[in-house]
Amino acid sequence: MRNRPGPPFGRVLIRSGNRAARSRAARGRLPPVARRAWPERTCVGCRQRVPASELLRIVAVEDEAGLALRPDPIRRLPGRGANMHPDPACFAQAVRRRAFGRALRLAGVPDDGALAEYLTRQPPRPATRSGEGR
């Protein structure tokens, strides 16, 4: 027994759109209105908001020398992450602005040698505008 009134016989009630659109959608002539949103993140270098799939996740790992920045291309390492385009220009901007310390909430300056080496080994990716290539 339900406490609140609902659509009869288990049908879904469509409340958005005008009356004609609702009736066409109810008859199955229109595609569903709801779309799944892609997660967006902000690049710490250029401060652009783009889909998370276009960015490289960076994490701070403690090693014997202190804190070091490590790339996380499969997005599975534990801890807080910062996102950045896999581009040396964005990396240079982030280092110049000391954005990694703020994004990762670090007290000191982390070593970025491993991250710089990873970015120089990567082949250049073609520039795509947000929304293309999905």
Residue 29: pLDDT band (50, 70, 90) is low
Helix (H) or strand (E) run with residue 40 in it? strand 40-42
Residue 8's pLDDT is what?
54
Interatomic CA distance for residues 88 and 45, integer angstroms:
10
Residue 134's pLDDT is what?
42
Residue 109's pLDDT is what?
87
Read off the pLDDT of residues 83-124 as tens digits, 9 standing for 90 and up.
Answer: 999 999 999 999 999 999 999 999 888 999 999 999 998 876
25-41: average pLDDT: 68
Residue 15's pLDDT is what?
61
Residue 133's pLDDT is what?
46
Residue 64's pLDDT is what?
85
Report which residue type is found at 126.
P
Query: Domain 40-121 is in which class?
Result: alpha beta
